Amino acid sequence: MKINKQIMYAAVAGVILGGAMGFGSANQRDHASETLVTTKYGKISQQKYYNQIKDSTSAKQLLQAEITKQIVQHKYGHKVSDKMVNESYQNTAAAFGADWDAALKKSSYTEKTFKQQIRDNFEMRIAITENMELSNQDYVARFKTFQPKVTIAQIMLGNEKDAKKVIKQLNAGADFNELVKTESLDMATNSHDGELAPFDNNTKIDTAIKTAAFKLKKGEYSSTPVKGAEGYYVIKMLSNSDKGTWQAHKAELKNLIVDEYIAGEHGAGMKKIIKKLYQAANVDITDKSLKSLETVK
């Protein structure tokens, strides 16, 4: 699990920028002149610090990120329930198992801050889904690389020689499920005949396994050992649906395109969505030097 450092910085610098954006009243000006740092050589005021950082590219990006976050929370926050957040949190924790607490700590998250990140992601996902404009051509283009979910069973071996031995036994008529029980080193799947959860080309699973699996038809097994990150595999296709037409997978394709928006693969489209949200929110920045950030260019 990796930390989004920009989000972390926003949590700190966003407060400074946000609190400093409206130095209009006497009370606000007094607050701006308050000392932020003291050394034996002098003082640094909050105003001076603000003036020095506000024009940096990173500070401007953070400010726009905070503006966007506020808009999205206001418009779509009511559509994200505690149940959605808690279920997502529990699913992530379950995937890490006993290592979850250590993973949280390593990434500088607490349960509370991680759940907030989940909520933010849900809100942004809804914002994208409800505002992106997709044509039939967009769906057709995404369908070209679309892979319906498949279900496979696997036998994990420690070396290529053992994997070839298993394939030889299968060629001679041996039962795949029996070989899972006697030969496979993967204790996580052995109890259910080596079967993995259904996956597609966007599922986080060993790339070598995915590549080999997508070439198989139902009932077929790999004719050569599959070299993965944790060993050698012999895999068998249990279920591999025909792609059919893009119309039959429209909902799935839309979700995949949203995933790509979130991952930053549709920069122009994402910018169009954010620009639309800004225009509807009547963004007004009181600092004249930052007025250009009121719109998305």
Domains of the chain: 5-131+266-294 (no CATH), 150-240 (3.10.50.40)
Judge contact between 50 and 16, C-beta under 8 A: yes
pLDDT in tens, 78-107: 999 999 999 999 999 998 888 999 999 999
pLDDT at res. 30: 54
Q: How far is CA 217 from the centre of its chain?
A: 31
> What does the pLDDT look like over 153-200, one tens digit per residue?
999 999 999 999 999 999 999 999 999 999 999 988 988 899 999 999
Q: Show the CA angle centred on residue 196, arms to residues 194 and 197, nearest 5°.
A: 150
Q: Is the pTM of this model over 0.75?
A: no
Q: Which helix or strand (DSSP H or E) is residue 269 part of?
A: helix 267-281
Cβ contacts of 105 within 8 Å, gap of 6 or more: none
Residue 6 in this model has a pLDDT that exceeds 70:
no
pLDDT at 9: 30
Q: How many CB atoms lie within 10 A of CB 116?
A: 15
* Mean per-residue pLDDT of the chain: 88
Indicate if the pLDDT at residue 16 is higher than 90: no
